[in-house]
Structure 1
Amino acid sequence: MDRGSPVPLYFQLARQLESAVESGTLAPGTLLGNEIDLATRLGLSRPTVRQAIRTLVDKGLLVRRRGVGTQVLPGGVRRPPELGSLYDDLDAAGRSPATRVLVDRTEPAPGPVAAALGIAPGSDVRYLERLRTAHGEPMAYLRNHLPAGLVAADTALLETTGLYRTLRSAAITLHSARQSIGARAATAAEAVLLDEPAGAPLLTMERTTFDDTGRAVEYGSHLYRAARYAFEFRLMVRP
């Protein structure tokens, strides 16, 4: 720490800790101890340490756990714009994905859902709400509508695998999708589910997926924690 620098000490500490996390020196799951211990070990004031930790918590690099202390989180998910699922991305990255099914029922299709799926308003659809986690941390709140009878209603299966894997296991060939991405603030209920403060920024994604015959097989409206998740695009210059 350079006490003679115009850069605040908390920022210097935050930058050093961030570098250690990104380089792997501080591996995911590493416990940093509480603020008092850290302040004593580093010879800094407790407010300085608290502000540095808060900076990295806001960036999604650290998490405060009651009774445990401050812990290093796994890096955020960067997802390319391909026709894949969050479950597959997390599984491929070794992030131990898990799912809690909140709702699994048949209901009449609202107008926007019916339009997306190309069916008559009021037709039966299967409605799913799921909470996706990685290493026990909430990552996304997923809401999906599927044409009724498309796949067997097996809530237990959806607790152990992804929706796209379930569709493929039913011999449905996923071909393409129409997707839009945005952002908005979390409602109080969404914040509780995703372990975020009310009003926290969330990434939104709406997607309609089609099989190889052109039939719409799924309409999804998803929310992702902005601190844990990013969509990554590759743009090419048009000749």
Structure 2
Amino acid sequence: MEPLTKKITIDRSSPVPLYFQFAQQLQNLIEAGELPPGTKLSNEIVMADEFGLSRPTMRQAMQHLVNKGLLARKRGVGTQVVTNRIRRQVEFTSLYEDLERDGRRPTTQVLTVETAPAEAAVATALGLEEGQPVVSIERLRLADDQPIALLHNYLPEGVIELDLEALAEGGLYQQMRRSGAALSTAEQTIGARRATAAEARLLDEARGATLLTMTRTAFDGSGKPVEYGSHVYRASRYSFEMTVAAH
């Protein structure tokens, strides 16, 4: 592979910060496939010397790309390019459908399926009394054999008869539609928080790593809530995208 010094040029007369010049050009190389996933980079001290940059400037450039999910630092391995982050449009589709459409080979591990009393947040979202029974589903969603999201879904009793085999092989919304449950609209909220120890273990992340969160309530054509989801996603491998219009 041609050395990075042949591919990246630093313009010291430019008003663009030096760290951003380096990070942007390295990002372009990654996204163009010239630095495929798994490519190991020299350590920051060596690269700083190669490009005539200070060590803090190089550290800032590398951290910028770590934060964007394009690089990962691994103890004993160093810094390397990681699989491109999955970008999901914010629309009324399931994660399984989005991954399948993106050619990312989704698979599912069904962790638990049980009938349980609705906690306050679940009951409020589904228009039920707290403590009323709901069907609780917990799944781990993978893309190309890499864990991406931990999904918790709650359904009022009687919405559908769950097929556990189909649940492991496809998406919940697909099964709901096949069962005749009409999905019309949804309300959702996106946020972020730190991973718990259990979440970090399941998602192959460091304890306390940042996770994206999404809660969603789905409604049928009459406006009745038929599903509530509370999901967490690996921020290092996943992002939400949306299109906004000016008025």
TM-score, with structure 1 as normaliser: 0.78
| 2:91 pairs with one of 66, 82, 96 | 82
Structure 2 CA distance for partners of 1:184 and 1:65, relative to 1, 3 Å = closer
Whole-Å separation in 1 of the counterparts to 2:109 and 2:222: 31
| 1:91 pairs with one of 77, 100, 109 | 100
Equivalent residue of 1:198, what SS? coil
2:15 corresponding residue in structure 1: none
1:180 corresponding residue in structure 2: 189
Q: CA deviation at 1:181?
A: 1.3
Q: CA deviation at 1:108?
A: 1.4
151-160 or 85-94, larger mean C-alpha shift: 151-160
Question: What is the correspondence of 1:189-228 to structure 2 with a 5 Å cutoff?
Answer: 189-228=198-237
Q: Does 1:154 align with 2:131?
A: no
Structure 2 CA distance for partners of 1:62 and 1:153, relative to 1, 3 Å = same
Equivalent residue of 2:180, what SS? coil
Cα deviation per residue 1:143-195 (whole Å; 9 max; x = unaligned)? Answer: 11001232223222211101111111111221001111111111122111111
1:128 corresponding residue in structure 2: 137
Q: CA deviation at 1:212?
A: 1.3
| 1:101 pairs with one of 88, 99, 110 | 110
137-146 or 54-63, larger mean C-alpha shift: 54-63
The one-letter amino acid of 1:80's match is Q
Q: Does 1:169 align with 2:178?
A: yes
Q: CA deviation at 1:82?
A: 1.2
1:113 corresponding residue in structure 2: 122
Q: Is the 8 A contact 2:187 2:216 kept in 1?
A: yes
The one-letter amino acid of 1:142's match is L
Structure 2 CA distance for partners of 1:182 and 1:107, relative to 1, 3 Å = same
Whole-Å separation in 1 of the counterparts to 2:84 and 2:100: 14
TM-score, with structure 2 as normaliser: 0.76
Q: CA deviation at 1:77?
A: 2.1
Structure 2, unmatched stretches of 5+, are 13-17
Whole-Å separation in 2 of the counterparts to 1:195 and 1:175: 34
Q: Is the 8 A contact 2:136 2:152 kept in 1?
A: yes
The one-letter amino acid of 2:190's match is I
| 1:32 pairs with one of 32, 39, 64 | 39
2:29 corresponding residue in structure 1: 20
The one-letter amino acid of 2:28's match is S
The one-letter amino acid of 2:167's match is L
Whole-Å separation in 1 of the counterparts to 2:178 and 2:169: 14
Q: Is the 8 A contact 1:209 1:219 kept in 2?
A: yes
Structure 1, unmatched stretches of 5+, are none
Whole-Å separation in 1 of the counterparts to 2:26 and 2:246: 37
Equivalent residue of 1:213, what SS? coil
Q: CA deviation at 1:57?
A: 5.1
Equivalent residue of 2:122, what SS? helix
Alignment length (residue pairs): 229
Equivalent residue of 1:191, what SS? helix
Q: CA deviation at 1:22?
A: 0.4
The one-letter amino acid of 2:179's match is A
Whole-Å separation in 1 of the counterparts to 2:228 and 2:119: 12
Whole-Å separation in 1 of the counterparts to 2:95 and 2:205: 19
Whole-Å separation in 2 of the counterparts to 1:166 and 1:53: 43
Cα deviation per residue 1:76-113 (whole Å; 9 max; x = unaligned)? Answer: 12222211111111110001111111111111112221
